[in-house]
Amino acid sequence: MNFNIIRAARAVLNVTNLEESRRFYVHALGFIETESDDKHIYLRGLEEHTHHSLVLKKSDEPSVEAISYKVFAEEDLDTLSAFFTEKGYRIKWMGSGSQKAIGRTLRVQDVSGLPLEFFATMDPVDRLLQRYDLYKGAKVQRIDHFNCAVTDVEKAYNFYINELGFACSEYTTADDEKIWAAWLHRKPTVHDVAFMNGVGPRLHHVGFWLSDPMSVIHTCDVLASLGYGSSIERGPGRHGLSNAFFLYLRDPDGHRIELYNGDYLTSDPDFKPVKWDLDDPMRQTFWGHAAPDCWFNEASTVLDIHTGQAVETGDPKLEKKKPTIII
């Protein structure tokens, strides 16, 4: 591996009504709207120093165009391109300027069929970390991770660990010691991406980081005040796995957003991945609440990077136990 992926960096989500999305993300959750036109809204968190971490695109159907990683330098894009091409993947380049505020990007459907994107540069913007007068709603700080449902977690795990250079922080095994779910990272937090056994490939959620646990509570109150009570799908609660204090929301198009606080540092090479067993009493949510079925069954459709059509999904390899542990 001679490329350096830095971190999960942005998601490009198709939505059906920009005004409704704006009301949810900007007015209710407090994302910063960096820029917008009649087809896009570009959002970022208060801590972010580049143009956006979430793109909402006007579309007929909700779906996921890309989940995107930042790399260290432009050269890394070329190396990644060569790597994927050699492995037989059909890559796609999008030139600098073809997407707002971002340099050239490399796209590829990954080993599980997920629409990946890589880029090295994005326009800088004013960081609003200390503009506390602009803090509202969830006071979202920054994008943190993607969680994806895939049919073969072990295959995804091996590819990300062995080929892309991710490290594993926590994982769950089924009875046969097969990996049922895994949390992987490049930046030294619990994850940049997680994979779980399920109908896939689909995007389960995009995770955003909040500055403190009270912001999670306040988000619930603000959402309820604005009539978004039904958008609260799960939580607040504590994950055993990852120790995150979490809240799961469904946006107006059904895309799932996780807001959370409570990570830990995974910088050390000798940090031993935490293993959870499906029969472990701790596999449940740390406080013992069950996740609702919709949290388990529903996820966002992902698109083919070449055709723009929905990627066909398949059934998971492992038994589809209700994954109350998965985050």
Residues of this chain that bind a copy of itself (CB under 8 A): 6-7, 28, 47, 49-50, 70, 72-73, 121, 124, 129-136, 141-142, 187-188, 211-214, 217-218, 220-226, 229-230, 232, 236-238, 240, 243, 245, 261-262, 264-265, 267-272, 284, 286-289
CB of 129 to a copy of itself, least distance (A): 6
CA atoms of 94 and 166, how far apart (whole Å):
25
Contacts 24+ apart (CB under 8 A), 71-75: 71/3, 71/4, 71/5, 71/6, 71/118, 71/119, 71/120, 72/3, 72/4, 72/5, 72/6, 72/120, 73/4, 73/120, 74/103, 74/104, 74/120, 74/121
- Answer for the pair 69, 116: CB distance below 8 angstroms, yes or no: yes
CB of 46 to a copy of itself, least distance (A): 9
Distance CA 145, CA 257 (A): 10
Which CB sits closer to a copy of itself, 202 or 283?
A: 283
Whole-number CA gyration radius for the chain: 18
Distance CA 20, CA 26 (A): 10
Cβ atoms < 10 Å from Cβ of 271:
14
Residue number, 176 or 268, with CB nearest to a copy of itself:
268
Distance in Å, CB of 155 to a copy of itself, minimum? 27
How many C-beta atoms lie closer than 10 Å to residue 230's C-beta? 9
Tell me how crowded residue 267 is: count the other CB atoms within 10 A of its CB. Answer: 10
The residue among 62 and 137 lying less far from a copy of itself, judged by its C-beta, is 137
> Residue 172 CB, nearest distance to a copy of itself (Å)?
16
- Our CB check for a copy of itself shows the closer of 99 and 231 to be 231
* Nearest approach, Cβ of residue 184 and a copy of itself (Å): 15
Place of tokens 């959620």: 205
Q: For residues 21 and 261, which CB has a smaller minimum distance to a copy of itself in the complex?
A: 261
Considering beta carbons, is residue 224 or 294 the nearer one to a copy of itself? 224
Reported as half-sphere exposure (CB side, CA atoms, 13 A), residue 13 has a value of 32
Q: Which is nearer to a copy of itself, 233 or 253 (CB)?
A: 233
Rounded Cα gap, residues 29 and 250, in angstroms: 12
Residue 128's contacts (CB-CB under 8 Å, 6 or more residues apart) are 32, 46, 47, 134
Tokens, residue 262? 């409570």
Exposure class string for 38-74: b at 16+ Cβ within 10 A, else e: eebbbbbbbbbebbbbbbbeebeebbbbbbbbbbeee
Nearest distance from residue 138's CB to a copy of itself, in Å? 12
Nearest-approach distance from CB 278 to a copy of itself, in angstroms? 17
- Minimum CB–partner distance for residue 133 and a copy of itself (Å): 4
**Based on CB atoms, which residue is closest to a copy of itself, 200 or 208?**
208
CB of 51 to a copy of itself, least distance (A): 12
| Closer residue to a copy of itself, CB minimum distance, 79 or 301 | 79
